[in-house]
Amino acid sequence: MAGRSMTYPARAAALFLFLFTGVAAAQPRDEPSSPRLRAPLTLLQINDVYSTVPVDGLGGLARVATLKQRMAAEGRTPFLVMAGDFLSPSVSSATFRGAQMIAALNAAGLDMATLGNHEFDFGDDVLLERMREAKWQWVVANVVDTNTGQLIGGAAPYVIRTFNGLKVAFLGLCLNTGEITGDKLKHTKLLDPFETAAQYLPQIKRENPALIVAVTHLTFADDRRLVERFPEIDLTIGGHEHYLITAIENRSFISKAGAEARYVARIDVSQRPNGAIERFFELLPMSKDIADEPRTAEVVASYESRLGAALDTRVGSTRVPLDADSIRLRASETNIGNFVADAIRQAAGTDIAILNSGSIRGDRIYPAGPLTHRTLLEMHPFGNVICKLAMPGRVVLDALNSGVARMPDTAGQFPQVSGLRMTVDTRAPAGNRVKDVTVNGQPLDPDKTYTVATPDFVFKGGDGYTMFPGQRVLVGPEAGDMLLAALEQYVAALGEIAPQIDGRITVLR
């Protein structure tokens, strides 16, 4: 279904926008007159993929592999590109540190990737290991290994390839903002992506490619700034946001394919005799109607099998029982609530942590003794990501009052906290129950800005925390660490934990 077409002069492009809402397996073949049949290159884009298997029925790298093979069998020239964020975070990555993603993407036939912020989650030394294991071309121009003075892992700043006579340049760029913390960059320097593009684009243009593609892991706002500053970029294959984006900025086309390979963006490109470039776009859902490619499926299954055994590996231990009884957890301070809140706050480096008690599971008392990956997963099975916000004290107070609004009833919205103390008077009207709040020993200042760590579920307004959407975001869901990973890192660093009820929440009943 052709949405619209536009024609631009010279090296500009005609864009045909295809948005197909059925399943890819049911697609008819292109009509013989379809202009994209003549395209010498079919780009297949994925980005922000954390699971090798389908999520809620969509995705799965074995299905992506089938799509690529099918395109090749139909006479296309498919080129599979990953726009960053895939080594982490996930339960599997917490165990295998991204090795499972490298193996699955190798099997699936990934052709090119740039780096995203989550590629650094395990530090730059682990990243170098993963880069060496990959069989595809790494392209990232602004990440330098200070030990060698060269681009990290032997990556190329840009690559020029010719596909059936079409000369294409790929320039790789990664964000350099606070999502990647300094402790993960022991010998890595992140350069400004805009100044880096200004350095390499003149070199690229001297080689006279027909098409310039930026493979980026930047915010959408920065992708727009990039193509506004450098209009010679014909196409941006981008990542970072977890939702679908297709946009035309000036003469450039920006594509982001969502997350978890639920969809693959298909972009066919060709060149007219007058030199103009045509780009044809289609969004392909990776549904159950697409069969798994056997070799990729075998690799995925092998890691899933190993994960089962790996989950029983000991992370550390607890010297005291951890009380996850839901009646107490959802109406009072508990030692497991303090443990989880402290881990979140430490991982995010914030003044405060606030989480909903409903995010802590088990409804039992976990005995003193070893803590395995599986036990921590039982405590938090949701896959939440830690977000970091900045907000005035009055919003913090609103959040705490919202969290206790249903007392004396037990409710999943009840807050477990770190970095603050408060008194809750259940006899007062809802919305005015929280008193005597202190943050790190000082009275809460309604006009002072505090940094707050919270799960992405709460960040999005879940469990009634409607005051959080709209606050200043320092680290959003697309960049934060997994809550489960924070628990594991906290336990592993201490070796043994012994959280206590220490008077953070005093309830007057």
Phi, psi of 457 (to 5 degrees): -60, -45
pLDDT tens figures, 233-275: 999 999 998 889 999 998 899 999 999 999 999 999 999 989 8
What are the residue ranges in the chain where pLDDT is below 50?
1-26
**Within its chain, how far is the Cα of 422 from the centroid?**
34
Do the Cβ atoms of 48 and 260 come closer than 8 Å?
A: yes
Among 255, 269, 158, 265, CA closest to 210? 269
pLDDT at residue 180, rounded to an integer: 81
Rounded distance between C-alpha atoms, residue 108 and residue 67, angstroms: 10
- pLDDT at position 26: 41
Question: Given this model, what pLDDT does residue 49 score?
Answer: 95
pLDDT value, residue 478:
87
Q: What CATH architecture applies to the domain 13-24+38-308?
A: 4-Layer Sandwich (3.60)
Residues 6+ apart with CB under 8 A from 278: 13, 14, 15, 16, 35, 36, 39, 269, 270, 271, 272
pLDDT of 181: 74
Hey, where are the domains in the chain? 13-24+38-308, 311-508
Helices (H), 116-246: 124-133, 193-206, 220-229
Q: Which residues in 261-341 belong to E strands, given as ranges?
A: 263-271, 277-285, 314-318, 322-323
Is CATH 3.90.780.10 the right assignment for the domain spanning 311-508? Answer: yes
Q: What are phi and psi of 116, to 5 degrees?
A: -115, 175
Question: Vertex 59, ends 56 and 64: CA angle to 5°?
Answer: 165
H or E element at residue 328: helix 326-329
Cis ω before 285 (30° cut-off from 0): no
Q: What angle separates helix 294-310 from helix 99-108, to the nearest 10 degrees?
A: 170
How far, in Å, are 21, 131, 238, 361, 483 from residue 40 at the CA level? 25, 29, 22, 53, 44
What integer pLDDT is reported at residue 116 of this predicted model?
Answer: 96
Q: What share of residues in the chain are helix, strand, coil (percent, to 5)?
A: 30, 30, 40
Contact between residue 42 and residue 76 where contact means Cβ atoms under 8 Å apart: yes
Read off the pTM: 0.78
Structural tokens at position 428: 């007062």
Which segments within 29-139 are labelled E, that is strand? 41-46, 78-82, 112-113, 137-138
What per-residue confidence (pLDDT) applies to 214?
Answer: 98
